[in-house]
Amino acid sequence: MSNKPARTLSFKCAKCTKPVTLYLQKVSACSHIQPYQGICKCGEVRYHATGDKDAVASFLANPHEGWSHHH
Ligand SMILES: [Zn+2]
């Protein structure tokens, strides 16, 4: 068993339902979450994050560039 987050996750695209591979992002700005990002072949960007519940919620509410950590 390991506490390290998975390097990749798979989700279905919200638009075309094809599987999308999300890759763990290296984000040094926040240690509370492990953000994942993947782009479907149809162009839809899929975000996901694991970790601190509130930080994940704020990340997913605005996962784009400029997101910063608020506590
Ligand atoms: Zn898609």
What are 15-65's pLDDT values in tens digits? 999 999 999 988 655 678 889 999 999 999 999 999 989 989 988 888 765
User: How many A from CA of 5 to the centre of ligand 1?
Assistant: 24
Flag whether the pTM goes above 0.85: no
- CA–centroid distance, 24 to ligand 1, in Å, is 19
Q: Is the dihedral of CA 17, 21, 25, 30 positive or negative?
A: positive
Cα–Cα distance measured from residue 28 to residue 42, given in angstroms and rounded to the nearest whole number: 29
Length of the chain: 71
Reduce the DSSP state of residue 8 to 3 states and report it. strand
* Res 1: pLDDT: 59
Distance 19 CA to ligand 1 centre (A): 8
Here the tokens at position 4 are 């390290």
**What residues does the ion ligand 1 have nearby, CB within 5 Å?**
13, 15-16, 40, 42, 44
